[in-house]
């Protein structure tokens, strides 16, 4: 993905977050807020900002933890933000209550599955957290033990 396209996705996520939280969207505040994630000349800065804004959007708009798993964290290679899934997950887990939402959603699915597809997606999200837990400095590393214990308890 080209940097210009990424910047547009970041702006859209930032604007959605601002509107959702009832703030007056002031475009002049956009770049200063992105700058909090690094130098604006680097793609990694824009990726970090995107992950943070999207994670907060997901958390703020979450009304159903089951859907959180089956829709919001159901990353597939076809999604344009596939390569940012680990960063989005880390940012989501950094939000107080984020881990609880994921655990609750997985408990709902593993405890009361609607169909095999839903369970397949839940295992994919569980694998995403497990993969992320192996990455150095990951917030998911601390969360994986708790998720694994929850999954094992539901399986028995």
Tell me the domain boundaries of the chain: 1-61, 64-156
- The alpha carbon torsion through 13, 95, 68, 135 (nearest 10 deg) reads 90
Give the phi and the psi of residue 82 in degrees, each rounded to 5.
-50, -45
pLDDT at 13 over 90: yes
Average pLDDT over residues 10-37: 88
Q: How large a percentage of the chain has pLDDT more than 70?
A: 84
pLDDT in tens, 26-83: 889 999 999 999 999 999 999 999 999 999 999 999 999 999 999 999 988 999 999 9
Percent of the chain having pLDDT more than 90? 54
Q: What is the pLDDT of residues 84-95, one digit of tens each?
A: 999 999 999 999
Calculate the average pLDDT of the chain.
85
In this structure, are residues 30 and 11 in contact, taking their beta carbons and an 8 Å threshold? yes
Of the candidates 81, 89, 74, the residue with the CA atom closest to the CA atom of residue 121: 74
Q: Distance between terminal CA atoms of the chain?
A: 44
């Amino acid at each position: 993905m080209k940097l210009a396209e990424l910047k547009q996705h970041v702006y859209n996520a930032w604007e959605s977050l601002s509107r959702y939280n009832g703030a007056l969207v002031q475009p002049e505040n956009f770049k200063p807020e992105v700058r909090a994630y690094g130098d604006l000349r680097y793609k990694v800065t824009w990726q970090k900002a995107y992950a943070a804004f999207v994670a907060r959007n997901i958390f703020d708009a979450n009304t159903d933890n089951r859907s959180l798993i089956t829709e919001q964290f159901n990353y597939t290679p076809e999604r344009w933000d596939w390569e940012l899934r680990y960063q989005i997950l880390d940012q989501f887990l950094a939000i107080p209550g984020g881990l609880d939402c994921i655990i609750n959603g997985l408990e709902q699915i593993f405890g009361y599955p609607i169909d095999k597809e839903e369970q397949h997606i839940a295992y994919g999200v569980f694998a995403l957290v497990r993969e992320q837990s192996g990455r150095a400095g990951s917030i998911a590393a601390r969360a994986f033990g708790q998720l694994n214990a929850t999954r094992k308890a539901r399986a028995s």
